[in-house]
Amino acid sequence: MADTTTNTALSGPRGPKPRKRLSRGNIILYSTLFVVCVYYILPLWVMVMTSLKGMPEIRMGNIFAPPVDIEFQPWVKAWAEACTGLNCDGLSRGFGNSVRILIPSVILSIAVASVNGYALINWRFKGSDVFFTILIFGSFIPYQVMLYPIVILLREAGIYGTLWGLVLVHTVFGMPILTLLFRNYFSSIPEELFKAARVDGAGFWGIYFRIMLPMSLPIFVVAIILQVTGIWNDFLFGVVFTKPDLYPMTVQLNNIVNSVQGVKEYNVNMAATLLTGLVPLIVYFVSGKLFVRGIAAGAVKG
Amino acid sequence: MNPAVQALITIALGVSGCVGYFYFSNLVLDKFIFPARGTNAGRNINRANMVRPWLFLLPALLALGFYLAYPVFETFRLSLSERLPGGGSRFVGLKNYDRMLDEPKFWEAIKNNMLWLVVVPAASTALGLLVAQLTDRIRWGSIAKSMIFMPMAISFVGASVIFKLIYDTRPVDQDQIGVLNALWLKFDGGWGSTLMLRIVPVVLIVIFVVAALWFAWSLVRPVFSSREKSGGVLLSAVRLSIGVVALWLTWVSVGGIQSVLGTELTYGAPATWLTIKFYNNFFLMVVLVWIQTGFAMVILSAALRGIPEETIEAAIVDGANPFQIFFKIKVPQIMGTILVVWTTITITVLKVFDIVFAMTNGQWETQVLANYMYDKLFRAFDWGVGSAAAMVIMLLVSPILVWNVYNARKEMK
């Protein structure tokens, strides 16, 4: 008995297992994936195609077809001519505002948060635990709860409706989650390094700039991605804390699309959407895996 | 002024302010308060080092206090007070809440929020899990993944604009531009329409109900059985309430099946999707699911990769089929991650604002709490009721909030 089984095992088919291309499993697999892809990719496809067509071509239907004549007019119009209320200078104004909001808030929040994270993890002190819990609460509490009192605070300070106010709000609200991010990363750096540096006479800043900073470049990139996409895509703060002249790009996009005058220009709307999404999309394609980490880290924030 | 120049000035001011603060406060601490010389040099250095972290954290603490802690309490106070004609405010107890509870729009928002709360996290997590599992097995999986993740990079408003085009409606005699209407007009009432519009939805609903009941049963079972430990009283209560929710969902779904089978469909006429009451909520949810699936997929796919190969190999040797491997081996091992994804999306859902604001602005019975609050605060300028609505959002979020804080503390210790 034992002999026969070993024999068949030896004389049996050899080589790699033959693959059936159209097995039942594969059909289910590919058809499910196809349906899923239609749901996720079709809207993006339609958006890009529509933005490149002229209005006459759009009116003919054929939404899925690529454009016969590629038109860049809608892009130009969305950028420089589309109207919101009385302003007719398109998204360019919003772009400028968004940049002016984005750069200071990203740099400030990351600078402060990284120092905080460093102070929390390496210079343990009385009360650091309480501070830590406050930070976690701060990063999870929904923004809606704090909205109106902050409007009052900013008004009292005289910066309600200015870009400064919005920068301040973004900086403060980015801080808890960023501090936690940095704290977690710094805690993975071996403590011996820190101790050795202290023995060698490095102070608080010496250790921060010469040891922590060079070793934690990835987490800085993650933090930048988190903040850039978060602030760029923010709508609530933009609409609540600024005035029409200073609206960031997302708010302006909404206003352009929802302005009721004249015919609906689908191509301009889609071009405007693409223009608004361009910055995060570029960041996404350039940074790849780190982007995913940044988004995942930011997903929990209030 | 040039925006770039202005931004540069802001940064320069901010950074130099921070550095200046840190530098001078340290200087004062080291040179004047606890100088490292004289008889007490050693003691002074130690004391200075004890105080130092607080110096660095002080700006952060002040900012957090001013912009996080104070506003939360202030909102609570405002929800209990009323504006006086000459300015100022007065304590009125629960009057604002009373007024809010009398408004039908509030109840509509609560009802819709519950619907969102059930559908969006479930759909996003399930789709994310499905895609994560399927794309692991094929070569172009990573491309598919990066495409599905792309909506995460687009703002909620941008996504809403795209879906507005998809739901767009034009008059009967013109060609339809909206994707959904173009598809809709392909249906003519034949057997294909019956299959796609009646049978497939019913099957989907039944799958959903079975999944919900199975999930709830697996959670509720430990409460009744004596063999397995069910945890404390609180945990049992949570498990039982999930069971009740599942039963409620079943009830709703049965109604849904009835309406799917019962409604007369007007073939050949374009529909204005966003004005169809009740169902328009689902059209809005599709947008959020579209965005959030990428998030769920990425996290779950990492978790799936982390499952030890041995467990799967053992199951294969024991003769398990792919479905058994997935549901009995893989899913239980990543249950923790699934819960994290689920709760994260739940919080997002509770605060959903941009999508509703941009697409319907709460018309046609699509109001949600966050938009209701915005309406009250910034359109009706009724901060009493607005703050009350904010407190309701806070109340709904807080169980998950506490759970998250508890987990984060445990994890980061």
CA distance B52 to chain A (A): 9
Long-range CB contacts (within 8 A, 24+) of A158-165: A160/A241, A161/A241, A161/A242, A161/A243, A161/A246, A162/A242, A162/A246, A163/A97, A163/A100, A163/A101, A163/A242, A163/A246, A164/B10, A165/A241, A165/A242
CA distances from B294 to A61, B117, B133, B387 (A): 30, 18, 13, 33
Most confident range (mean pLDDT) of A58-72, B41-55, B336-350 is B336-350
3-state secondary structure A93-158: HHHHHHHHHHHHHHHHHHHHHHHHHHHHHHCCCCCHHHHHHHHHHHHHCCHHHHHHHHHHHHHHHC
| Partner residue opposite A204 with nearest CB, options B52, B59, B70 | B52
Q: Is the pLDDT of residue B35 over 80?
A: no
Q: What is the percent of chain A with per-residue pLDDT over 70, rounded to a whole number?
A: 85
CA distance A96 to chain B (A): 6
Closest residue by Cα to residue A149 from A126, A127, A172, A131: A172
CA–CA distance, B46 with B34 (Å, rounded to integer): 9
Residues of B in contact with A67 (CB under 8 A): none
In one-letter notation, the amino acid at residue A219 is: I
CA–CA distance, B350 with B345 (Å, rounded to integer): 9
Closest residue by Cα to residue B67 from A55, A241, A100, A67: A241
The answer to whether the Cβ–Cβ distance between B71 and A146 falls below 8 Å is yes
Torsions phi, psi for A254 (to 5 deg): -60, -40
CA–CA distance, B61 with A31 (Å, rounded to integer): 54
Any B CB within 8 A of A273 CB:
yes
Question: Is A176 within 8 Å of A139 (Cβ atoms)?
Answer: yes
Instruction: Identify the residue among A93, A144, A232, A241 best suited for mutation to test binding to B, counting B beta carbons within 10 A and taking the highest.
Output: A144
CA distances from A215 to A175, A186, A187, B214 (A): 21, 9, 12, 48
Mean pLDDT value across chain B? 79
Torsions phi, psi for A199 (to 5 deg): -60, -35
Question: Is A178 within 8 Å of A109 (Cβ atoms)?
Answer: yes
Q: What is the pLDDT of residues B69-103, one digit of tens each?
A: 888 888 888 888 777 766 667 777 777 787 778 88
| Partner residue opposite A147 with nearest CB, options B57, B60, B377 | B377
Contacts of B6 (CB under 8 A, 6+ apart): A100
CA distance A160 to chain B (A): 14
Residue in chain B lying closest to A146 (CA): B71
b/e burial code for range B278-295 (CB count within 10 A of at least 16 → b): eebbbbbbbbbbbbbbbb
ipTM for the whole predicted complex goes beyond 0.85: no
pLDDT for A1: 46
Question: Is A154 within 8 Å of A241 (Cβ atoms)?
Answer: yes
Residues of A in contact with B148 (CB under 8 A): 36-37, 40
Q: Domain B108-412 belongs to what architecture?
A: Orthogonal Bundle (1.10)
CA–CA distance, A100 with A118 (Å, rounded to integer): 28
Question: Is B239 within 8 Å of B220 (Cβ atoms)?
Answer: yes
Contacts of A167 (CB under 8 A, 6+ apart): A101, A104, A105, A108, B10
The answer to whether the Cβ–Cβ distance between A172 and B67 falls below 8 Å is yes
The answer to whether the Cβ–Cβ distance between B63 and A96 falls below 8 Å is no
Q: What is the DSSP letter of B331?
A: H
Residue in chain B lying closest to A255 (CA): B358
DSSP B114-162: HHHHHHHHHHHHHHHHHHHHHHTTSTTHHHHHHHHHGGGGS-HHHHHHH
pLDDT for A295: 72
The answer to whether the Cβ–Cβ distance between B358 and A43 falls below 8 Å is no
Better-scored residue on pLDDT, B55 or A146: A146
The answer to whether the Cβ–Cβ distance between A149 and B75 falls below 8 Å is yes
Question: Is A179 within 8 Å of A136 (Cβ atoms)?
Answer: no
Residue in chain B lying closest to A145 (CA): B390
The answer to whether the Cβ–Cβ distance between A40 and B148 falls below 8 Å is yes
CB atoms inside a 10 Å sphere around CB A260: 5
Handedness of CA B120, B398, B241, A299 (dihedral sign): positive
CA–CA distance, A246 with A265 (Å, rounded to integer): 24
Residue B83: in which H helix or E strand, if any? strand B81-83
Q: Is the pLDDT of residue B229 over 80?
A: no
CA–CA distance, A19 with A26 (Å, rounded to integer): 10
Q: What is the mean pLDDT of residues B280-301?
A: 86
Q: What is the DSSP letter of B274?
A: G
Confidence of residue A21 (pLDDT cuts 50, 70, 90): low
The answer to whether the Cβ–Cβ distance between B154 and A280 falls below 8 Å is yes
Query: For helices B3-28 and B41-64, what crossing angle results, to 10°?
Result: 150
CA distances from A159 to A95, A165, B88, B409 (A): 21, 5, 21, 36
| Partner residue opposite A233 with nearest CB, options B75, B155, B166 | B155
Domain definitions of chain A by residue range: 21-71, 101-246+265-298
Instruction: Using the structure block, give the residue that is written with the tokens 């996409």.
Output: A229
The answer to whether the Cβ–Cβ distance between B393 and A266 falls below 8 Å is no
pLDDT for B394: 85
Residue in chain B lying closest to A265 (CA): B165
Residue in chain B lying closest to A31 (CA): B134
The answer to whether the Cβ–Cβ distance between B72 and A60 falls below 8 Å is no
Say whether A172 sits in a helix, a strand or coil: helix
Any B CB within 8 A of A108 CB:
yes
CA–CA distance, B72 with B65 (Å, rounded to integer): 10
Residues of B in contact with A270 (CB under 8 A): 161-162, 165
Q: Is the pLDDT of residue A92 over 70?
A: yes
Question: Is A130 within 8 Å of A120 (Cβ atoms)?
Answer: no
CA–CA distance, A285 with A292 (Å, rounded to integer): 11
Q: Is the pLDDT of residue B230 over 60?
A: no
Any B CB within 8 A of A65 CB:
no
pLDDT for B99: 79
Q: What is the mean pLDDT of residues B361-380?
A: 82
Q: What is the mean pLDDT of residues B329-342?
A: 84
Q: What is the mean pLDDT of residues B334-341?
A: 84
Confidence of residue B255 (pLDDT cuts 50, 70, 90): confident
CA distances from A134 to A209, B60, B75 (A): 27, 11, 18
Contacts of B43 (CB under 8 A, 6+ apart): none
| Partner residue opposite B354 with nearest CB, options A148, A235, A269 | A235
Q: Is the pLDDT of residue A8 over 60?
A: no
Any B CB within 8 A of A250 CB:
yes
Give this prediction's pTM. Answer: 0.80
| Partner residue opposite A33 with nearest CB, options B134, B155, B401 | B134
Mean pLDDT value across chain A? 79
Residue in chain A lying closest to B382 (CA): A148
Residue in chain A lying closest to B6 (CA): A100
Residues of B in contact with A135 (CB under 8 A): 64
CA distance B213 to chain A (A): 24
Strand partners, A87: A84
| Partner residue opposite B158 with nearest CB, options A40, A277, A300 | A277
Question: Which A-chain residues 206-235 have CB contacts (< 8 A) with chain B?
Answer: 229, 232-235
Confidence of residue A101 (pLDDT cuts 50, 70, 90): confident
Q: Is the pLDDT of residue A172 over 80?
A: yes
Instruction: Using the structure block, give the residue that is written with the tokens 């406050």.
Output: A134
Question: Is A257 within 8 Å of A269 (Cβ atoms)?
Answer: yes
CA distance B103 to chain A (A): 20
Q: What is the pLDDT of residues B173-196, one digit of tens each?
A: 777 777 777 777 777 666 777 777
- Minimum mean pLDDT range among A11-20, A127-136, A234-243, B388-397: A11-20
Structure tokens at A258: 């929802």
Residues of B in contact with A96 (CB under 8 A): 3
Residue in chain B lying closest to A203 (CA): B49
CA distance B227 to chain A (A): 36
Confidence of residue B292 (pLDDT cuts 50, 70, 90): confident
Q: What is the pLDDT of residues B199-214, one digit of tens each?
A: 777 888 888 888 888 8
The answer to whether the Cβ–Cβ distance between B67 and A250 falls below 8 Å is no
Any B CB within 8 A of A158 CB:
no
Beta carbon pairs, A and B, within 8 Å: 294
Q: What is the mean pLDDT of residues A50-57?
A: 78
Evaluate whether the domain defined by A101-246+265-298 bears CATH number 1.20.140.10. Answer: no
Specify burial of residue A254 (Cβ count, 10 A radius: 0-12, 13-18, 19+).
Answer: buried
The answer to whether the Cβ–Cβ distance between B295 and A46 falls below 8 Å is no
